[in-house]
């Protein structure tokens, strides 16, 4: 008898008349147990017990490497700003603590606020709890700066879930990506919190340029001292020369040469640069892509066509060469900003992307094209994938409509010819 015993759960199942309580129970129960009926081969196109919750969990698993490396990089960038423990593997314990203390509040707020809204609407509708927010709740902390104010994060999630999801009917009915809507809300409502150099480096109670570790000092220093490890030291000032500029900002002002003067290609690939938590490590994202493709959760057509759109547009800009940003070699764009993260986890959202195979090719290519145009041509916005994906989310149904219509017309002509 225990958490993994079906009989135990059946005994504590609340009455279905208690809509909220039973909805909460059903959400937890289906998290522990898969469906007990499997379709037999040959009788249907569905061959296994995969349900929506397990589909979402596969994506969450694929994000975990981004969480691990991203959290460590938060601490690494923090100490670079102080000019201490500048080696990649220096003071690993301190960097992990800084990273976890930054990412955990974002994750908790993201899930408490978003799931709270889901639970409320599920109880009002008398429906089971929908699992769609599992991925959204895991994605949102990864596309935010580590120091974004928690109240601002909560407000953006409320806006995104209510306006872009529940207003359209809930999970599976939303037109645009919920996580990107939350980021778009902060970008347009509070632009200083998600642009410039400052937001990308976690300050930990920065006051007049001096770091205050009071809370961490009290919690961890005794343990670290007993182990003979380095400890947190209060009152350290940030380096005046440290700016926290991202590769995108440097590329806009001075091209690829300006980027490589500050960051090596290895650092950009592994994840030792400032930026949103989940976008800095291309290695972590590639591991996530491998998981998504092996489990067939995400569409390889969208990923490949988006990469193709980036490459073709980048080559056109390289040939044009109007400014230093256009001269950045097209393949180096994959090392900067959130391109790879958008390609893996945002563009492939099965709800808001195209459903037809031909539509996926068109959809992905246009995201790559528009994203590069916004990134390179727009002087007010150093990145382009959020706007490009939201734009194509809106046009995805139209693309599918014309693809299906063209297929119908082609078959009608074939039938008439016979």
Of 53, 49, 54, the C-alpha closest to 38 is 49
Domain that holds residue 311: 299-418
Q: Is the pLDDT of residue 43 over 60?
A: no
For the four alpha carbons of 312, 177, 188 and 398, in that order, the dihedral sign comes to positive
Q: Is the pLDDT of residue 125 over 80?
A: no
Q: Can you give the pLDDT at residue 283?
A: 95
Q: Does a structural domain hold residue 6?
A: no
Q: Please check whether residues 23 and 58 belong to one and the same domain.
A: yes
Q: Output the average pLDDT for the chain.
A: 85
Q: Please check whether residues 183 and 127 belong to one and the same domain.
A: yes
Q: What is the mean pLDDT of residues 28-40?
A: 61
Q: Please check whether residues 150 and 222 belong to one and the same domain.
A: no
Q: Can you give the pLDDT at residue 158?
A: 95
Q: Please check whether residues 132 and 186 belong to one and the same domain.
A: yes
Single out the residue in 259, 279, 297 at which a domain terminates.
Answer: 297
Residue 309 near residue 301 (C-beta atoms within 8 A) = no
Question: Residue 41 in 3-state DSSP?
Answer: strand
Q: What is the mean pLDDT of residues 388-408?
A: 95
Q: Does a structural domain hold residue 412?
A: yes
Residue 193 near residue 152 (C-beta atoms within 8 A) = yes
Question: Residue 55 in 3-state DSSP?
Answer: helix
Count: domains in the chain: 3
Q: Which region, left, alpha or beta, applies to residue 35 given φ > 0 means left and ψ of -120 to 50 means alpha?
A: beta
Q: What is the mean pLDDT of residues 136-150?
A: 91
Q: Can you give the pLDDT at residue 29?
A: 67
**Distance in angstroms (rounded) separating the CA atoms of residues 214 and 179:** 33
Which of 40-54, 147-161, 186-200 is predicted with the least confidence, judged by mean pLDDT?
40-54
Q: What is the mean pLDDT of residues 380-397?
A: 90
Single out the residue in 281, 297, 313 at which a domain terminates.
Answer: 297
Both tokens assigned to 261: 């003067």
Q: What is the mean pLDDT of residues 81-93?
A: 88
DSSP letters, 142-191, are: GGS-TT--HHHHHHHHHHHHHHHTGGGTSTTT-SS-HHHHHHHHHHHHSG
Of 90, 52, 84, the C-alpha closest to 72 is 90
What backbone phi and psi angles, to 5 degrees, belong to 237? -85, 150
Helix pair angle (19-32, 92-125), 10° resolution: 130
Q: Does a structural domain hold residue 332?
A: yes
- Confidence at 390, pLDDT banded by 50, 70, 90: very high
Residue 183 near residue 386 (C-beta atoms within 8 A) = yes
Q: Please check whether residues 29 and 83 belong to one and the same domain.
A: yes
Q: Does a structural domain hold residue 159?
A: yes
Q: Please check whether residues 124 and 250 belong to one and the same domain.
A: yes
Q: Can you give the pLDDT at residue 242?
A: 72
Q: Does a structural domain hold residue 42?
A: no
Question: Residue 210 in 3-state DSSP?
Answer: strand
Question: Three-state SS across 341-357?
Answer: HHHHHHCCCCCCCCCCH
Q: Please check whether residues 364 and 391 belong to one and the same domain.
A: yes
**Distance in angstroms (rounded) separating the CA atoms of residues 185 and 156:** 6
Helix (DSSP H) and strand (DSSP E) numbers for the chain = 15, 2
CB proximity list for 16: less than 8 A, separation 6 or greater: 22
Q: Please check whether residues 187 and 230 belong to one and the same domain.
A: no
CB proximity list for 338: less than 8 A, separation 6 or greater: 143, 275, 276, 279, 383, 385, 386
Q: Can you give the pLDDT at residue 26?
A: 67
Q: Does a structural domain hold residue 339?
A: yes
Q: Please check whether residues 132 and 209 belong to one and the same domain.
A: no
Longest CA–CA separation in the chain, Å: 86
Q: Does a structural domain hold residue 9?
A: no
Q: Please check whether residues 67 and 169 belong to one and the same domain.
A: yes
Which of 217-231, 282-296, 349-363 is predicted with the least confidence, judged by mean pLDDT?
217-231
Q: Please check whether residues 94 and 212 belong to one and the same domain.
A: no
Residue 277 near residue 103 (C-beta atoms within 8 A) = yes
Percent of the chain with pLDDT over 70: 83
Q: Does a structural domain hold residue 44?
A: no
Of 380, 351, 371, the C-alpha closest to 311 is 371
Say how many residues make up the chain: 418
Q: Please check whether residues 280 and 308 belong to one and the same domain.
A: no
**Distance in angstroms (rounded) separating the CA atoms of residues 83 and 174:** 46
Of 382, 390, 335, 374, the C-alpha closest to 178 is 390
Q: Is the pLDDT of residue 293 over 60?
A: yes
Single out the residue in 216, 237, 258 at which a domain terminates.
Answer: 237
Both tokens assigned to 128: 């089971």
């Amino acid at each position: 008898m225990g958490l993994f015993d079906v009989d135990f759960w059946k005994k504590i199942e609340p009455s279905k008349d208690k809509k909220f309580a039973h909805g909460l129970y059903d959400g937890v129960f289906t998290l522990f147990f898969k469906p007990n009926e499997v379709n037999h081969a040959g009788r249907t196109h569905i061959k296994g017990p995969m349900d929506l919750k397990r589909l979402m969990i596969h994506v969450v698993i694929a994000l975990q490497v981004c969480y691990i490396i991203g959290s460590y990089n938060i601490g690494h960038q923090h100490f670079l700003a102080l000019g201490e423990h500048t080696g990649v593997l220096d003071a690993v314990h301190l960097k992990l603590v800084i990273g976890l203390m930054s990412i955990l509040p974002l994750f908790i707020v993201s899930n408490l606020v978003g799931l709270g809204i889901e639970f409320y609407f599920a109880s009002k509708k008398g429906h089971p709890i929908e699992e769609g927010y599992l991925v959204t709740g895991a994605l949102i902390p990864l596309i935010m700066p580590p120091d974004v104010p928690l109240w601002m994060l909560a407000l953006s999630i409320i806006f995104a879930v209510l306006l872009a999801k529940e207003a359209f009917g809930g999970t599976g009915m939303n037109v645009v990506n919920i996580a990107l809507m939350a980021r778009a809300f902060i970008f347009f409502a509070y632009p200083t919190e998600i642009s410039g150099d400052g937001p990308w480096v976690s300050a930990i109670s920065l006051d007049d340029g001096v770091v205050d570790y009071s809370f961490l000092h009290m919690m961890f220093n005794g343990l670290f001292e007993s182990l003979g490890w380095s400890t947190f030291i209060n009152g350290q000032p940030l380096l005046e020369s440290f700016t926290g500029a991202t590769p995108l900002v440097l590329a806009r002002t001075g091209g690829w040469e300006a980027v490589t003067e500050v960051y090596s290609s290895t650092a950009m690939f592994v994840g030792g640069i400032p930026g949103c938590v989940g976008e800095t490590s291309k290695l972590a994202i590639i591991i996530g892509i491998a998981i998504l493709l092996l489990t067939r959760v995400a569409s390889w057509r969208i990923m490949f066509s988006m990469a193709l759109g980036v490459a073709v547009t980048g080559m056109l800009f390289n040939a044009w060469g109007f400014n230093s940003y256009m001269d950045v070699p097209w393949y180096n764009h994959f090392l900067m900003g959130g391109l790879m993260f958008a390609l893996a986890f945002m563009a492939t959202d099965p709800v808001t992307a195209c459903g037809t195979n031909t539509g996926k090719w068109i959809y992905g290519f246009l995201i790559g094209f528009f994203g590069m145009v916004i990134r390179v041509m727009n002087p007010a916005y150093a990145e382009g994938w959020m706007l490009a994906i939201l734009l194509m989310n809106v046009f995805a149904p139209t693309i599918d409509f014309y693809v299906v219509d063209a297929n119908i017309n082609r078959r009608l002509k074939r039938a008439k010819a016979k």
